[in-house]
Structure 1
């Protein structure tokens, strides 16, 4: 039986090393991190269970090896648990933020599990290098297939969803391979295979130019050269130059790339994902821990960096092309760790790293440990430069553990000999059975979460074409995973869209009951409530600190503003959203629009001016300011302001349309036509501009041209009753019947 458990342990570790970097799912909405975290968690759970079962059933003794880092790892995990307990969003801490997952508590626990599994159950660390290199080679091969268009998904690599994280993995791989080129006697791969994989991995880096990526590669190559030459010195091979040529050439090329401000346009390239700068990431982290005493010591909670970005986003970000992007990851793992776990988690993690590298100095002469020390060092450098995705997370903790196994320190173990009485053996087996059942329950629970994300993916795919099917799939996703606010936000928006689509139908075909029910469901999925005796948990009940939840609720109420109390609820919703994301000019503008509907023009003007302060080139807020003048009865002033705005933003279709509308209302039909035609030149399917242009043509007696515009509006909006009436007035009934 001991052999069986050893096989399970060995297999689970090998599968971890080989499969996690490659895990990717086309069936779930979150294709990368969700699958990797799922696989990581359950393979670690399987390995730990087999390890415990072997001790209880075979060895009749519980043994736990103490490594130099054991104390620090336990303290870091305890800090993460404590931070999660007081998290700003407990569900994000418990499951990880949707889209990244590795930053949540399960990712931290799985990482610690990898470390303890390796240090307690792995005896020969080098056997794991072969599955690692096999996995890396397959990942590089798939990336090339994507790069050259063989795979349908452009820029695909199975390791991470963005090239920045993949580049850290490549730097890690390149550093290890360079070391083995310098020290071939320690290499377990054929020398030719090592060279091919090394050159291929470096070639992928040429497909995207980003200075931070090159800095990590440069640091890794320097470390590999230093480690290789140091071992040559100790073994009396310092005078040999064999094996140095390729690493030195790659180091030189990396240095040139690092200093190059730009990169030539290539026919093939990996897209770079927009990201926060290092300065912004650390600024957000510092602002977060400065909020209050709890954040200073415990942070905002694992998995909550997206909330920190919303709350402390710098205004300067509004002047960039990514001003509407809601970033959920820092540019540095350390910045995210500082923000989400506070001083306690951050300092404990730093202490863990410092103690590891300090202790490593005593074992530098151990040749077997050098590749693992090198790998851990490069990955730690990568954590400074980029956020840490699951494949990097696994690799770091794996190599941290393997390095200590390779030191072969005389084991310091905590031992508990188990009584050999029949009664105790029965109790021990019963306890082990409970652990097995708990593990099976966790697996079943995880399977539900995985199935939920598959349903969510199906819902997103179906919703634009088959709204009812999209809603059905979304409801199944929310049923399978009732703790994911993301699904409920999406369902709220789907129900609102269906209600608005129903309202576009002719009155005789419109279902008022369906509209009413969809509006109720849209509110319930956002806020929570009961619809037809069915209690629905809302996104806000799961995550009241998430801006998107409040923004969605405000949007629902904005679209039903004529309903009793809706306007007040909409205003409160957007006010709360602004409190959570004060630097977002869109939220201030949306709140201002609600104040306009409520005829609170001074408050509306204040919101629009705040939006302009946050983003001076935000045309929407400036346009709304001009429209307040119209509401106050000064159309001439409004036209003047809109005209100035059109000069500044000549391609803003909404501003052009509003200027045309005001011209038309003031009887300046020729000016109105000019503006509507400018709108349609940039947006041919702008329904309002088409309809308004039709009215303008009609007022000039250009009936044929007017009818053509109305027909086009009807094609775009088949159920629009007003357009049908217009066509009837113009004698185009045949078009309506068609």
Structure 2
């Protein structure tokens, strides 16, 4: 098997994805995908790379152009629609126009196309959001990149390996200017979760694939390659401006497979003696992915059924099944614990505590798990040591989500119960700095001031 030039960054990216997952702050999310967004895990990424090699060998491109020039226009607009950004459609149509001019006028067309793109670049440098909005309530561009660079510069490990694939929601909680926002751009997420080297490998796949399409479209006047290059350019824009959804990732790897040219070999090849071992390894890994993936899918289906169930006993039974099938998903344990707490019996509270203790073990980087544990300790604060454990849980949650006003307020309330009013007042004030209108913090701070005033009246 010959290895094409484009295969080198693809294989490098796959290996780096694996390495980043091993050093991840949440290995389960990095391997299986984060809750409800399974496409950003290693196993789905591995399947996408397999699809890249499969499509490059077996998918025939000639049917694409039978639909004429209408298909690329529809494809680009569809991409813009699904990413909810007209700017993506604008980029794709601009690239289509570029390749069409080059093909039509050949040598002089290149100059015309370059001038056209220079004009488009100048237009893009000025505020044109009213015509081609860069976001449609989907992502916050500045916040996305701010989080990415904050994460990157936090430690040498983050700089080289990122926080781990599938962990950008944790980066948002820790480094964002707010506890959460609507989404993240694809490239910002890649930079934060893969690190610099993984980001550069991803970009290298884009650039090499686009250069091959551009070469065939401009110099060999191949219209189909011009269409593919324009679509890849639009995908690149989508990664810059919108979240990397599964359809977008699938389209990217499909286009990359079309750019793979084994006739332009890198000079590397898999030796014949290792082919059986190579195939056996791929088969074993694929089998493991299918086995684990089936359990993830079944557990998610049971969890969704539990959310729709109105009977509390049946909901608990379904959630217990989901936890048994997939014991690594933190969200299932948190939801199950909340249902146990609603029952409010001693055995149910003990089960809730057990689930939340397991949740912080499987998801130690997830602030919501520590927050739920802190809330439980707060609810049973009369038990010996519960207040101290509650403080520790909320403090851990705050290190993971330092912009969360609710956590400061809950911690302040525990310090109030411990009669450490100075610390309580400090935490309530911090909550109000983050969220000036947060009523719980205002009320609790008011209670402290009222009680202090009453003490002064009594002369205490």
Q: Aligning the two structures, in what range does the TM-score lie when normalised by the shorter sequence?
A: 0.7 to 0.9
Say whether residues 1:260 and 2:90 are aligned partners: no
Q: Using a 3 Å threshold, how does the CA distance of structure 1 residues 309 and 472 change in structure 2: closer, same or farther?
A: same
Q: What residue is the counterpart of 2:350 in the other structure?
A: 520
Residue 355 of structure 1: SS of its match in structure 2?
helix
Aligned-pair distance for 1:436?
A: 5.5
Residue 67 of structure 2: SS of its match in structure 1?
coil
Q: Using a 3 Å threshold, how does the CA distance of structure 1 residues 200 and 571 change in structure 2: closer, same or farther?
A: closer
Q: What residue is the counterpart of 2:58 in the other structure?
A: 122
2 CA distance for matches of 1:84 and 1:200? 33
Residue 124 of structure 1: SS of its match in structure 2?
coil
Q: Using a 3 Å threshold, how does the CA distance of structure 1 residues 400 and 631 change in structure 2: closer, same or farther?
A: same
Matches within 5 A, 1:90-109: 90-109=27-46
2 CA distance for matches of 1:559 and 1:445? 37
Indicate which of 303, 323, 326 corresponds to 1:481. Answer: 326
Q: 1:486-536: CA deviations, max 9, x gaps?
A: 11111111111221xxxxxxxxxxxxxxx0011011111111xxxxxxxxx
Indicate which of 377, 386, 393 corresponds to 2:233. Answer: 377
2 CA distance for matches of 1:472 and 1:273? 40
Say whether residues 1:620 and 2:450 are aligned partners: no
Indicate which of 183, 189, 208 corresponds to 1:355. Answer: 208
Indicate which of 317, 327, 348 corresponds to 1:472. Answer: 317
Residue 66 of structure 1: SS of its match in structure 2?
strand
Residue 239 of structure 2: SS of its match in structure 1?
helix
Q: What residue is the counterpart of 2:191 in the other structure?
A: 338
Say whether residues 1:539 and 2:339 are aligned partners: no
Say whether residues 1:446 and 2:296 are aligned partners: no
Indicate which of 200, 218, 224 corresponds to 2:90. Answer: 218
Residue 260 of structure 2: SS of its match in structure 1?
helix
Q: What residue is the counterpart of 1:727 in the other structure?
A: none
Aligned-pair distance for 1:355?
A: 3.4
Aligned residues of 1:215 and 1:258 also touching (Cα < 8 A):
no
Aligned-pair distance for 1:477?
A: 0.5
Residue 90 of structure 2: SS of its match in structure 1?
helix
Aligned residues of 1:553 and 1:570 also touching (Cα < 8 A):
yes
Q: Using a 3 Å threshold, how does the CA distance of structure 1 residues 219 and 237 change in structure 2: closer, same or farther?
A: closer
Aligned-pair distance for 1:285?
A: 0.8
2 CA distance for matches of 1:237 and 1:603? 70
2 CA distance for matches of 1:553 and 1:413? 53
Residue 126 of structure 1: SS of its match in structure 2?
coil
Matches within 5 A, 1:33-44: none
1 CA distance for matches of 2:21 and 2:287? 24
Q: Using a 3 Å threshold, how does the CA distance of structure 1 residues 90 and 379 change in structure 2: closer, same or farther?
A: same
1 CA distance for matches of 2:8 and 2:278? 27
1 CA distance for matches of 2:369 and 2:58? 46
Q: What residue is the counterpart of 1:249 in the other structure?
A: none
1 CA distance for matches of 2:412 and 2:397? 13
Say whether residues 1:83 and 2:20 are aligned partners: yes
Aligned residues of 1:459 and 1:473 also touching (Cα < 8 A):
yes
1 CA distance for matches of 2:36 and 2:192? 18
Q: What residue is the counterpart of 1:713 in the other structure?
A: none
Aligned-pair distance for 1:448?
A: 2.0
Say whether residues 1:387 and 2:243 are aligned partners: yes
Aligned residues of 1:305 and 1:328 also touching (Cα < 8 A):
no
- Count of residue correspondences: 438
Aligned-pair distance for 1:334?
A: 1.1
Coordinate RMSD, CA, aligned: 3.5
Stretches of structure 2 that go unaligned for 5 or more consecutive residues are: 111-126
Aligned-pair distance for 1:572?
A: 1.1
Residue 17 of structure 2: SS of its match in structure 1?
helix
Q: What residue is the counterpart of 1:29 in the other structure?
A: none
2 CA distance for matches of 1:441 and 1:432? 14
Stretches of structure 1 that go unaligned for 5 or more consecutive residues are: 1-63, 130-186, 239-256, 264-271, 318-323, 420-426, 500-514, 528-537, 638-738
Q: Using a 3 Å threshold, how does the CA distance of structure 1 residues 328 and 65 change in structure 2: closer, same or farther?
A: farther
Aligned-pair distance for 1:340?
A: 0.7
Q: Using a 3 Å threshold, how does the CA distance of structure 1 residues 286 and 94 change in structure 2: closer, same or farther?
A: same
Q: What residue is the counterpart of 1:282 in the other structure?
A: 145
2 CA distance for matches of 1:478 and 1:433? 32
1 CA distance for matches of 2:75 and 2:44? 32
Q: What residue is the counterpart of 2:173 in the other structure?
A: 310
Q: What residue is the counterpart of 2:116 in the other structure?
A: none
Q: 1:361-404: CA deviations, max 9, x gaps?
A: 43333414222222212111111111211111010111111133
2 CA distance for matches of 1:122 and 1:199? 22
2 CA distance for matches of 1:215 and 1:105? 30
Residue 383 of structure 2: SS of its match in structure 1?
coil
Q: Could you tell me the TM-score, scaled by structure 1's length?
A: 0.54
Q: Could you tell me the TM-score, scaled by structure 2's length?
A: 0.85
2 CA distance for matches of 1:302 and 1:440? 22
Between stretches 68-77 and 581-590, larger displacement belongs to 68-77
1 CA distance for matches of 2:30 and 2:291? 20
2 CA distance for matches of 1:261 and 1:618? 37
Aligned residues of 1:83 and 1:301 also touching (Cα < 8 A):
yes
Residue 362 of structure 1: SS of its match in structure 2?
helix
